[in-house]
Amino acid sequence: MAIIDPRTGQPIADASPQAGAATAPTTDPQNPEQAPDPVVEANTSNIQQLLDMSMQVPVILDCWAPWCEPCKNLMPVMEKLAREYNGAFILAKLNIDENPEIAEQLGVRSVPDVKLISQGGLVDQFQGALPEKQIREWLSKYFPAPAEAPLSPEEEAAAAFEAGDTATALTIYQELVSQWPDHHDYQVELARVLAAAKQADDALAVLDNLPPEVRDAAPARGVRASIEFADEAPSAEQIEALGERDDSEACYQRAMRQVADGQYEDGLEALLTLMKQDRAYQDDIARKTLLRVFDALGADHPLTVSYRRKLFALLY
């Protein structure tokens, strides 16, 4: 028996025959109104039916193996999304150890290997265990998002962090780092939360263990800069002791305290004003500090975009 391409009627390749009825999404006979489960097992007995079904409903083929640790992280995410998308596609799980002929015919060289099949043909694929956020982005190219999609772990962590709930954000990012150790963005965000939780040494340890190209990129530099601001800024008592002073030193110290406290707009405005009034102060430290704050905020932050323009206008 051969696996037939439904578009052309030609065999994809030779496959060894195996007995057994095809399995595809079926409705529970005890609850006929229940939607069929979009998650199925793929094997030699039903692969042809799945290819045929792809003429009407896209099929995502998740090729995995029992010995593959990344597969174990990816599979629950794929199953969750398949049910969340509620029939927009069928998720077919293919154990390559049990179905080596199919894996060979489909060109599977390593796992996990995820293939989107529609109209009997390969539309797209990705290899490796991607985090949920990236898989959602991949799916969004081909399927409308579910009407009431739950927050992804990344979104939950970001929302918790924004609300000041560093404990929840910390727990989520620690789990994400554990699940996806090669996804270094999670480690950078973990360091960011640790810094906000006043665990600067732990945050710096995370940053120091990143690969050089990640450690030296803007997001990680920004986290390190935020830790440095907290160390360099004068205490509240020292700020109070400045009284009504409005000299360059006093203005700079107040700006540093504002940045360390997260009052970024006030701090940026104070640094820009100091730069206008006393460019030579401490060898142009106001401008240099502005650039460090941009790093801490990130290139796409609205304040970075706005104050980069103001800095450019002042310089040129």
In DSSP terms, 59 is beta-bridged to 90, 117
Are 17 and 131 within 8 A, CB to CB? no
Cis peptide before 211 (omega within 30 of 0): no
| Distance from C-alpha of 223 to C-alpha of 190, rounded to nearest angstrom | 10
Report the greatest alpha carbon distance in the chain. Answer: 89
Q: Which of 71, 106, 117, 285 is catalytic?
A: 71
| Distance from C-alpha of 311 to C-alpha of 316, rounded to nearest angstrom | 9
| Distance from C-alpha of 316 to C-alpha of 306, rounded to nearest angstrom | 16
For the CA atoms of 4, 6, 12, 16, the dihedral, rounded to the nearest 10 degrees, stands at: -20
| Distance from C-alpha of 132 to C-alpha of 256, rounded to nearest angstrom | 38
Q: Which of 50, 53, 59, 68 is catalytic?
A: 68
| Distance from C-alpha of 93 to C-alpha of 295, rounded to nearest angstrom | 43
Whether 63 sits among the annotated catalytic residues: the reply is no
Which H helix or E strand runs over 243?
none
Residue type at position 168: T
Are 295 and 222 within 8 A, CB to CB? yes
Q: Which two tokens stand for residue 155?
A: 């979104």
Residue type at position 31: N
| Distance from C-alpha of 148 to C-alpha of 188, rounded to nearest angstrom | 29
By CB atoms closer than 10 A (0-12, 13-18, 19+), residue 108 is buried
Residue type at position 130: L
Return the SS3 of 306.
Answer: helix
Which H helix or E strand runs over 200?
helix 200-208
Active site residues: 68, 71
